Structures are given as C-alpha cells and as structure tokens.
Structure 1
C-alpha cells in the first residue's frame, strides 16, 4: 500500500512539474543577435530548402522555395514558388504589414484570416491557420511557426502543425539570402 501511494505521489509530482514548464515566447530571445527585421531580411531574392516530417519524425516531403520580397513603407509582398521533390509546384503570395514594436500581420490566399507575428531579438513567432489541400480534401491546419535569424544571410524556420490540438508534424526550412 505504501509503495502504491509513493508511486501515485511521484507521478503526481512529475505531472505537476511538467505542467510548470513553459513554452517559449518571443521575449525569451529579446537579447539575441543579430536582430531580425522582416523588412530587411525579406527584401530581394531568397532561396529556402525544407522538409515536412510527420509526428513520428519521418520525412514525408522535401521542397525548395524561390522567394522574392518587396517592401513599400511598412507593407511588403513575399512571393513564394515551391517545388516539391515529387515535381509538384505551389505558389503563395504573402502581404505582410509591419505594425510597429516588432509586430507583423500577414495574409495570403490560403491563410484563414491573418497570420500574427511578434519579433524579438533574432526570433519571430507566427501564428496562423493554413487551408491545406490533401488528397482532394481541404483541411484548416494551425501553424506555430518560429524563425531564427542566424546571420545576415541565413535564417532557420521550424513550424509545428496541428489540428484540434493534435500534433500533425513539423516543417523545417533553411532560408538563404544571396
């Protein structure tokens, strides 16, 4: 009986401690350098390479993206052309507005509503819902998207995808600015 109570107490303590661990927030990166400014980084041509992994970590799709960013004041356009390893292509055009104080809002034809972003230090967190076609059906999938500026030319991007709070997988990208 005492062993059972000890086991229950240990499991309860572990669950409580796990619940106290907090997810990262942009302010965690406020002191990191170089400082990410979307208007500077996403201006001109870029190339990205990425993978989509399922929740078990298996690579399901590989892709390359050719991007061109253009800004007029606080409004930018990011034109993305995707080429997947199976030969399929896709295009997404973002309109991004710098709202001040590191806040950004983005829209695209396949984004439900808008993407909201907050940049601090070298990091940006985007939150949005993407309308994703899969085998003839369209799903609205939530993205928790993080970008980390490594230097003036390289940025890493990691996005978690979920639906109804269930993890579907991750998208990992490496951007390179020429």
Structure 2
C-alpha cells in the first residue's frame, strides 16, 4: 500500500493556485460592474431632478430585446410638479402598437443628490443617486407580459446633455438574466 504524503511546499503551491484563481474571478466580476455615479461628479450641466422634471416634458423611446432588435417604440408626455423636495411626475405613454399607459411617480429629494420614488407599478421604492450630469436610478417594475406580471429589475442611467435634453439608458433583467434595454430621449417643454 502506497501512502500519500503532501509536502508543505505542495500544499502552499495549491493554496497559491486557489488564491490566484479567486483573485482572477473577482477581477473578472468587478470588471463587469458598471460605472459609479461619482465618476460623473465634474460633468456639467448639473442634474437636479427638481429643476429638470418641473413643467411639461416629452420623451421618445424604444425597447430593444437582448439581441438588439427594436420591439416597441413609444412617446411619453409628462408633467412634473415640485413642492419643496416632494415631486409628482405624471406620465402618459403612447406605444407604436396603439396601446397607452399611465404612470404617476411620487419622488422625494433626500439631500446629497439622493432620491427615492414610488409608482403604482413599481415594487418597493426606487432609489437614485445623482452626481454631475448623471443619475443612477434602480427599481423593480411589475411588467405585464402575455397575461402574467413579471417583476423586472430596471438599472436606469440618465445623462443631462443640456438645459433641455436628457438621454436615458435602462438595462432590464430578471433573475440576473439580461432581457433587453430601454433608450429614451427627454425634451424639456411640450411639442
């Protein structure tokens, strides 16, 4: 019977190998992480939702599936009203297939660029952090799909381009699986 003995050097090499594998895995995972909103702190113009989402706005957008195919287009007519740090944003969607949808956001400014929001079809609170010209907004949307409701995670980035125009890109996922993206262009004022 042959006995197997591990030398301390062999055990150390295995531990180093496992350690390097873990470090490599963490590096890959952190490389997949998106930007931090603080990276935009010096960008101008400064985004303040209380100013931008105040009064009438119009937005045009599209939903693309995970392959990049445009599945649906839409126009949104909005009106925002703020009283101090509390805002209401009423949205009226008209989709390319003729369907319509209404959503009312109740948004609160918490200070230091932080926001929270609620809407009837949003599960729990939405949370947002603004810095410079950017806002990173996260929430779960109860989305009707083929007679069922899916709770879809929305990873939302907004970028103020100038005093009138803001661009929005949202990644949609469920159980960590990328479902598609929303792309929206907002224009302050009405059409």
Tell me the TM-score normalised to structure 1 length. Answer: 0.90
| Partner residue, 1:161 | 172
| Partner residue, 1:9 | none
| Partner residue, 2:83 | 72
Match of 1:126 among 134, 137, 147: 137
Equivalent residue of 2:44, what SS?
Answer: coil
- Which structure's CA Rg is the greater one? 2
1:19 maps onto 2:55 in alignment: no
Aligned length: 167
Any stretches of 5+ residues in structure 1 without a counterpart? 1-11
CA shift at 1:17, angstroms?
5.4
User: Which structure carries more strand by proportion?
Assistant: 1
Any stretches of 5+ residues in structure 2 without a counterpart? 1-20
Equivalent residue of 1:50, what SS?
Answer: strand
1:45-101 deviation line (CA, Å, top 9, x unaligned): 000000000000000000000000000010000000000001000000000000000
Q: CA RMSD in A?
A: 1.4
Match of 1:143 among 148, 154, 161: 154
Equivalent residue of 2:67, what SS?
Answer: coil
1:51 maps onto 2:62 in alignment: yes
CA shift at 1:14, angstroms?
8.4
CA shift at 1:135, angstroms?
1.4
Give the whole-Å Cα distance in 2 for the aligned partners of 1:151 and 1:168: 30
CA shift at 1:19, angstroms?
3.4
Equivalent residue of 2:163, what SS?
Answer: coil
| Partner residue, 1:34 | 45
Equivalent residue of 2:162, what SS?
Answer: coil
Task: Give the 4+ runs in structure 1 shifted more than 3 A.
Answer: 12-20
